[in-house]
Amino acid sequence: MTEHFDGQEAWAAALRAHGRRVTKQRLAVLAAVERHPHSPAESILAAARAELPELTAQSVYVVLGDLTDLHMLRRFEPPHSPALYETRVGDNHHHAICISCGRVEDVDCAVGHAPCLTPHWDEQAKPMTIQIADVMYQGICQDCQQSQQLPSNRPSEEIEK
Amino acid sequence: MTEHFDGQEAWAAALRAHGRRVTKQRLAVLAAVERHPHSPAESILAAARAELPELTAQSVYVVLGDLTDLHMLRRFEPPHSPALYETRVGDNHHHAICISCGRVEDVDCAVGHAPCLTPHWDEQAKPMTIQIADVMYQGICQDCQQSQQLPSNRPSEEIEK
DNA sequence: GCCTTATTGTGAGAAAGTCAAAATAAGTGT
DNA sequence: ACACTTATTTTGACTTTCTCACAATAAGGC
């Protein structure tokens, strides 16, 4: 429970640094996101309610949105998934999503420090000032690859017609 | 109107090649996506109804989903936006989205032919078999940059508090 | 032309998130 | 410690985007 305090204080300091009040709702959301990276709002609500049962869904949406704007959290939206949140910000890491089971893994960028941040514009295109480059790898994780090669092992959860 | 026929026949052939029946709904959707790249389902419905007024929204969703699975269309989901569709498939181009006005532009990949397709895995991570790498650049387009520097020029549509 | 079955239409409904306004509580000053 | 100001949270209704099940229709092979 003492390591908890460290985290609490660190988050509290960050909140104050951004001119935000330190509320138990924000602390609960931050702790929940930290403990469950790559989670949607609903899961964060459930996790945060473990320590703050009266927390409401709206508060989670508001807090997540605000903290994302402050860059204390990072949001990304994989295809066919609600938005996911994580506390790992500031680096420009990317994400790999298994299109079969939905598992998400962090991927450090291969290309130096600011990867893919310099798109190659057409002649006629008016270049934008790029701020971030979200790279979303989609593939099949090892577990799903195996269970697809052994179709006998597969329950009836997702069979193609 | 003759160029229309060429497109119709090309799409019809592609549909047959994928074992799909050639329906006026599918042709209308394909033509609409081709004429309005980076459009959401609702806009595609509106555009397609210009030539097929009795088309329904459900059909558009079904057709878009199916043709996307066949890789005749490509879908991508920018943050805070419904899914967008385009007919440009097969190449691995990416997209730049203006976070201010939402405009989308195609971006050819800077890094050779199969860009960013080789993520750099952690030691402990179990690598996935990557199939596609969707790169989503987010920035501010030239128009929005200018209108933000001349705040007097900005109507009341989106003012920060 | 007819028949089979893929495709489309109909209507209900879920999921994820948003908005406005009232209730609460953090931080400030006393 | 107490009160006050206003940020924050809650409440509850609502929107948007998309999905599902099943009935109606029509494309393509015979």
Could you say which nucleotides of strand C lie within 7 A of any protein CB atom?
Answer: 6-12, 15-20, 25-27
The per-residue pLDDT for A144 is 86
What does the pLDDT average to over A43-61? 97
Q: What 3 state SS string does chain B have? A: CHHHHHHHHHHHHHHHHCCCCCCHHHHHHHHHHHHCCCEEHHHHHHHHHCCCCCCCHHHHHHHHHHHHHCCCCEEECCCCCCCEEECCCCCCCEEEEECCCCCEEEEECCCCCCCCCCCECCCCCCCCEEEEEEEEEEEECHHHHHHHHCHHHCCCCCCCC
What does the pLDDT average to over B54-69? 97
User: How far: A81 CA to D12 C1' (Å)?
Assistant: 26
What does the pLDDT average to over B55-71? 97
Q: How far apart, in Å, do the first and last CA atoms of chain A sit? A: 51
The per-residue pLDDT for A124 is 59
Least reliable range by pLDDT among A61-70, A138-147, B58-67, B84-93:
A138-147
The per-residue pLDDT for A42 is 97
- Read off the DSSP letter of residue A120: B
> Under an 8 A CB cutoff, do A116 and B110 touch?
yes
Task: Flag whether pLDDT at B21 surpasses 60.
Answer: yes
Nucleotide nearest to A54 (CA to C1'): D10
What does the pLDDT average to over A79-94? 92
What does the pLDDT average to over B56-75? 97
Instruction: Give B78-113 pLDDT, tens digit per residue.
Output: 999 999 999 999 887 889 999 888 899 998 865 544
D10 closest protein residue (CA to C1') = A56
HSE, side-chain direction, 13 A CA sphere, residue B126:
12
Instruction: Give A90-139 pLDDT, tens digit per residue.
Output: 887 889 999 888 899 998 865 544 445 566 676 656 678 888 888 888 88
Nucleotide nearest to A20 (CA to C1'): D7
The per-residue pLDDT for A65 is 98
